[in-house]
Structure 1
Amino acid sequence: MAEKGIFISFEGPDGAGKTTVMTAVADYFKQKLGVDQVLETREPGGTRISEQIRDVLFDDQNTNMDPRTEALLFAAARRQLVVQKLKPFLAAGKLILADRYVDSSVAYQGAGRHLGVDQIWDLNQYAIDGCLPQLTIYLDLPVQVGIERIAKFRADQVNRLDKETLTFHEAVHQAFDQLATRHPQRIVKIDATQPKEKVIQTVLKTINDRFF
């Protein structure tokens, strides 16, 4: 692809601090590059249609959602984000920071829902049409630590997927590790058990060394 921009995704198990770290990174690069040069987005979400799909996916009433339906909805929300935001911003030479992307679908639906990591990877290649991050920051955290963090710091923001079993979350974590091994040039694994400021500084150094 002939895109000029930079696309960085942030991945990891629930409670790893992705949103907190990404927000700090975004603030840093808004000062460095200019506010209008940085796009922050999240998954599922980032566009009006994608946010509507997010509401369906995370609705506590939708406990009977079929796993394949769930996987297809995540891919559909992602497709809309790619078309409306990611490709235009990359073509304009801007920096995109995404809170989750394809790797999350592979981990949560492919491994957690037992739909197959390769199957979900292939499904999402159709959705994203070649729009992969140049760099993925994988914030690694033991499952139990993540669950404890969620209970302590955002118990009022727990969604349908957060409530899954320990076995589910362990499968997700293992899948993230496998993805990091499979894509070593793209995925950089960072220890998220470190103090928050240390994690942020490590992430900033990783990005600056790679792109600036």
Structure 2
Amino acid sequence: MDERVTQYRDAVYEQVVKVGKSLGNVTRLRILDLLVQGPKTVENIANIIGLSVATTSRNLQILKRANLVTIERNKNFMTYRLVSEQIKQLVTLLVTVAEQSQPELVAVQTIFKQQTGSPQTLTIQALKAKLGASSTYLIDLRPHDEYAAQHLPGAHNIPYDELPQYFTELPRDREIVVYCRGRLCAYANVASQELHDAGFKVATFNQSVWEWSQVMPGQTD
């Protein structure tokens, strides 16, 4: 074998491994999954994932060195965003591959669904059909900034922490459909259980707004 080929191949693989190493950490995967929703400050990310700003910053720097995230400076704040749409595809594909290859992941999902009352889970096509009916009331459980960045058509923004305050205002003659950040986010299932226990007819959509936008281009607000 030509030595130049060997050297080239090893050098290329080494760079690919850098990306793989940056992904091999629960905290960094959580950060990337959050950034799929839209740009965030270090402080915002740290607050959501429950870590110190210093620890969050160290993990963000690892992702930045792998060119997965980039920084925008605005006065005293540093906002992080994903470098490209391909990173969103990468995070989504990692989850899909794990669901297909890791029985333990499927078992965790199944048990959690049972613990939260086995709510009806909608596919993208099933949700699209429901959105065409006036009998569906769609709720986006994410924080206001993520909703503002992009949301499903006709969705009402009620962050999960505020949901109980709206029980008296939600329509009881319509089916409530809730969604959050996607398959790695458990809030939609928990919210469904709470709504069901409060007497509402409810279903969940457990894919992300970005996943919806890839199947239904141009159908987000």
TM-score range normalised by the length of the shorter chain: under 0.3
Greater relative CO, 1 or 2 (CA 8 Å, sep 6+): 1
